[in-house]
Amino acid sequence: MLYPSDPCIDESRGNLELALISIYLLILQFLCKAIRLCDKTTPSRAVKAFWDPDDIVDFEKSCQDLEARLDMEVQNCERSYNKIDRAESLHQGSALKDLLLQLKELKDDARVADLWKRLDEVERSDILIWTSEIPYKDHHTTASEGRTKDTGEWLFEHEQYKAWQSSDESMILWLHGIRRSLFC
């Protein structure tokens, strides 16, 4: 997400950058001192082999102070960004609520209901194609080609079928038929 220019964010980001620069500066100063010591001759290094304990204590204290400052600046940045994120979430939640209210108003429109039904049918078909290795469409097409017009239409008028079709629950309609020969 891109954050808009906000004085609070700009200030906290700037303070965080300054705190990071301060830590980098302290580390670079330490490394420069160590390099200067290594560049000296062996006898000089032997004399200064041990740094002044006060230097070490000062360096450690500076590191701790900068670490505390950096931690505080990170928290300030997080608070600033979280504030903007909360405001954006509230805005998006409000827009979603408005869309849901508009959708609720359209729910009773027969055209919209028909569109939802078609979308559900397409989605179910896509899922079946995706999950099944059985070429059900081919089987259906082959079986449909030899079908006599209006065969089985009685099923759509049967009460059990109507109850199943109008149910909101997930149910399976199991049709079982015994094929009879015409020459019995």
Distances in Å between the Cα of 15 and the Cα atoms of 25, 29, 85, 90, 128 are 15, 21, 20, 28, 56
40 plus 120 within the same structural domain: no
87 plus 131 within the same structural domain: no
118 plus 69 within the same structural domain: no
30 plus 63 within the same structural domain: yes
Residue 20 burial (CB < 10 Å; 0-12/13-18/19+)? middle
59 plus 125 within the same structural domain: no
Q: Would you say how long the chain is, in residues?
A: 184
60 plus 20 within the same structural domain: yes
98 plus 112 within the same structural domain: no
**pLDDT, tens only, 76-104:** 888 888 888 788 888 888 888 888 777 77
Q: Provide the mean pLDDT of the chain.
A: 79
48 plus 16 within the same structural domain: yes
41 plus 127 within the same structural domain: no
Q: Which two tokens stand for residue 162?
A: 């109507």
How far, in whole angstroms, is CA 18 from its chain's centroid? Answer: 32
**Confidence grade of residue 49 (pLDDT, cut at 50, 70, 90):** low
Count how many domains the chain has: 2
Residue of higher predicted confidence among 49 and 22: 22
Of 67, 76, 64, nearest to 6 by C-alpha is 76
Which three-class secondary structure string do you get for 9-22?
A: HHHHHHHHHHHHHH
CB–CB of 4/84 below 8 Å?
yes
The model's pTM is 0.43
Query: Does the pLDDT at position 161 exceed 80?
Result: yes
- 183 in a domain, yes or no? no
Per the structure, the complete domain to which residue 122 belongs is given by 107-138
55 plus 77 within the same structural domain: yes
117 plus 38 within the same structural domain: no
**Confidence grade of residue 47 (pLDDT, cut at 50, 70, 90):** low
- 79 in a domain, yes or no? yes
Q: Which two tokens stand for residue 88?
A: 């954006």
